[in-house]
Structure 1
Amino acid sequence: MAKALPPLNWFRAFEAAARNLSFTAAGEEIGMTQSAVSQQVKALETRLGVPLFERKARGLALTDHGRRLLPQVDAALDTLSSATGSFFEDKPSRLLTVSASYSVIQWVIAPLLPAFKTDHPDLAIRFMGATWPDEFSQTAADIEIRFGSPKQAGPKARLLGSNRLIALKNPDLNAPLKNLPLIEAVGISDGWKSWAQQAGFKDLQPTLFVDSYGPALQLAANGNGVCLVHELLAAHPMSQGLVEPAHGRKIAANESYFLSAREDTPEAAAFSDWISMKSTELIAGLA
C-alpha cells in the first residue's frame, strides 16, 4: 500500500517559512501562530526523516534537503492554486444581478446598456435568462423582469413599457398581411387568433412556431414572415429599420413584462428607475 502523503498544511507552512526564512513571518502570512508553523514544519521533517532548516539565533536557513524540496513544493502549490482558482474568482464589490427573459435582454436591455454603463462604470452586472415563473424561483436576483399576468407578477411589480401587441415584418416584405407567413409564440394566451378577431381578419393561420417573442421577432427581422410581439420589444428593431408595422392594429395583451426590484440596494434602485424610464420613452417613440 502506498504511504500516505503528509498533510497539505505542512507543505504550506514549509513553503512560507522557506520563503520568509522566519516562522513568525510565515505564520502572519498564512494565518497561523509562530508555534503552529514551527510544529508543522517539525512534523514534516520527522515524516521525511531529514532536517529542512537550520535554526539560528537570527532566523532560519535552508538545509540542502530543504533547498531540494522547496522548488517541488512551490510548483505543486502553484498547480493546486491554478486548478482551483476558477472556482473562487474574486467577485466585484458592486454586483447587480438581473433576471429577465432572453427576449428582453436581447431586444430591450442590450441596445440601451452602453449608456447605463457610462453612468455606472464601476458596477458589474450579471444577467440570468429566465422566462417562466419556476425559472425565476431558482434565482436570487436584485432585479426581476417577469413575463406573465399582473396577478402572477405580484402587487409590488410594475408594468414595463405597455401591454399591447403589434404585428411586425421586414420592410422588404411588401405583400398583404393575409398573404404572408405568420409567426406564433406558443405558450402565450394571446396570439394571432385574438389579433385577427379584433382586426377583422378571418382564417389567419400561423405556420412558424417558436417558444417566445424574442426568436419570433428575429425570424420576422430576417424576412421569414410577420410576428406578433410586445411593443416593448419592437422599439429598438423598428428604430434600426429591421422591422416595420405590418398592420396598424394593436391589441391589449393578457400577459406583459413586469419589473420587480430589491428595495435595499441603491444599484437595484438605479437600474430599476433607468429601465422604467427608458421603456416609457421607447413606447412613446412608437406613437
Structure 2
Amino acid sequence: MAKSLPPFGWLRSFEAAARHLSFTSAAEEIGLTQSAVSQQVKSLETRLGVPLFMRQARGLALTDAGRRLLPEVDAPLQALAAAMDIVDTGPAKNLLTIATSVSVAHWVIAPRLPDFQARFPGLKVRIHCAIWPDDFHSTRADVEIRFGSARQGGIDAEPLLPNQLIALKSPSLRGELHELPLIEAVGTSGGWQAWAKRVGSAPPPSLYTDTYGMALHLAAHGNGVALVSELLADHALKTGLVERAHPASISSHEGYYLSTAKDKPEALDFREWLLGSLSLPQAGPVAHAGG
C-alpha cells in the first residue's frame, strides 16, 4: 500500500520557514500565527522521524534532512502555483468573486447569502476558499476576508466585528464548563490558556483542530466546549445549534479583515450589505488581562 502524504499545510509551512529560516517570517508570509507554523513543522518532523531544523538562539538552521527535503518540496509547490495561474481565467462579467476562509464562507456568508442575492438578483457570486496569501493573489478577488493580525489583514483592510472569543457548546451537552471536554483551535493567540488567566480555571483541552470554524462545528455536534470568534458564532447561536457555555468573553489578538475593490460597484455593495448584517450587539462581559 502506498504511503500517504503529509498534509499540504505542513509542507507549505516547512518550505516557507526553510526559505526565511524563521517561523515568524514564514507565518507573516503564509497568513498563520508563528505558533501554528511551528506546530505544523514539528508535526512534519514527527511524521518523517527526523529533525528538519536546528532551533538556535539566533534563529533556525536546516539539518541535513531539511536541506535534502527543501528542493523536493519547493518544486511541486511552484508547479501548483503555475497550474493555478493557468486555470484561473480571471473575472467574468456580472460576477462578484469573494476570497475567504472556509470558516467565514460556512458560518458567516452562507447563512446570509440568500438575503444578498435577493437584493441583487442579477449578480453571480463566486466564493473561493483561500488558505495561503498566494491563493488570494491568484484569484483576483473583488472582496477578500482574511484571518490574522491587523498586519496580516493587509493595507486598508477593516476589521469585522464583533471580535471577542466566546465559549460555546451544544444545547444537548449538559454540565458546567469545567466539567466538559474543551476544544482548542490551534495556532491562535487566544485559547483556553488565555481564558484561564482572564476568566477562571479550565481543564486542558482534549480535542484540537486548526480553525475556529471546525471548532464551532465540533461543538455543535456535542464534542465539547469550543472557544471561538463571536463573529462566526452569530448564526449558530441564533438558530440554536450552539449556546453559551459561560457568559464571559475574552479579547482576541487575531480577527477577520475585509478588503474591497474600490473600483467595482458590486464589491462596494457587498461590503455595505455585509457590514450592515454584522451589526451585532456585544454579548456578555468582556474579561481583560490585568483588568
Q: Same fold (TM over 0.5)?
A: yes
The correspondence of residues 1-287 of structure 1 with structure 2, limited to 5 A, is 93-202=93-202, 204-280=203-279, 283-284=280-281, 286=283
Deviations 1:199-244 (A, max 9, x none): 1215x21111111011110110011100011011111010111100
Q: Which runs of 5+ in 2 are unaligned?
A: 1-86, 285-291
Please say if residues 88 and 138 of structure 2, whose CA atoms lie closer than 8 Å, have aligned partners that are also in contact.
no
Structure 2: distance between partners of 1:285 and 1:205: 27
Q: Match of 1:116, as an amino acid? A: F
Please say if residues 169 and 243 of structure 2, whose CA atoms lie closer than 8 Å, have aligned partners that are also in contact.
yes
Structure 1 SS opposite 2:122: coil
After superposing on structure 2, the runs of 4+ consecutive aligned residues of structure 1 that deviate more than 3 Å are 131-135
TM-score of the aligned structures, taking structure 1 as reference length: 0.65
User: Displacement of 1:92 after TM fit?
Assistant: 5.2
- Distance of aligned partners of 1:285 and 1:191 in 2 relative to their CA distance in 1, 3 Å threshold: closer
Structure 2 SS opposite 1:224: coil
Structure 2: distance between partners of 1:254 and 1:242: 26
Structure 1: distance between partners of 2:159 and 2:210: 22
User: Displacement of 1:134 after TM fit?
Assistant: 4.2
Q: Match of 2:281, as an amino acid? A: A
Please say if residues 161 and 279 of structure 1, whose CA atoms lie closer than 8 Å, have aligned partners that are also in contact.
yes
* Percent identity of paired positions between Structure 1 and Structure 2: 49
User: Displacement of 1:154 after TM fit?
Assistant: 2.6
Please say if residues 162 and 256 of structure 1, whose CA atoms lie closer than 8 Å, have aligned partners that are also in contact.
no
Q: Match of 2:113, as an amino acid? A: L
> Paired residues, what number?
198
Q: Match of 1:265, as an amino acid? A: K
Please say if residues 132 and 147 of structure 1, whose CA atoms lie closer than 8 Å, have aligned partners that are also in contact.
no
- Distance of aligned partners of 1:110 and 1:249 in 2 relative to their CA distance in 1, 3 Å threshold: same
Structure 1: distance between partners of 2:144 and 2:88: 26
* Corresponding residue for residue 38 of structure 1: none
- Distance of aligned partners of 1:88 and 1:197 in 2 relative to their CA distance in 1, 3 Å threshold: closer
- Distance of aligned partners of 1:171 and 1:157 in 2 relative to their CA distance in 1, 3 Å threshold: same
Please say if residues 166 and 250 of structure 2, whose CA atoms lie closer than 8 Å, have aligned partners that are also in contact.
yes
Deviations 1:153-175 (A, max 9, x none): 13411111222100000111121
User: Displacement of 1:277 after TM fit?
Assistant: 1.2
- Distance of aligned partners of 1:191 and 1:285 in 2 relative to their CA distance in 1, 3 Å threshold: closer
User: Displacement of 1:265 after TM fit?
Assistant: 0.7
User: Displacement of 1:88 after TM fit?
Assistant: 12
Structure 1: distance between partners of 2:208 and 2:147: 19
Deviations 1:157-198 (A, max 9, x none): 111122210000011112111111111111212111111110
User: Displacement of 1:279 after TM fit?
Assistant: 1.1
Structure 1: distance between partners of 2:151 and 2:128: 23
Deviations 1:20-49 (A, max 9, x none): xxxxxxxxxxxxxxxxxxxxxxxxxxxxxx
Q: Which runs of 5+ in 1 are unaligned?
A: 1-86
Structure 2: distance between partners of 1:163 and 1:196: 19
> What's the RMSD between the two structures over aligned residues?
2.1
Structure 2 SS opposite 1:121: coil
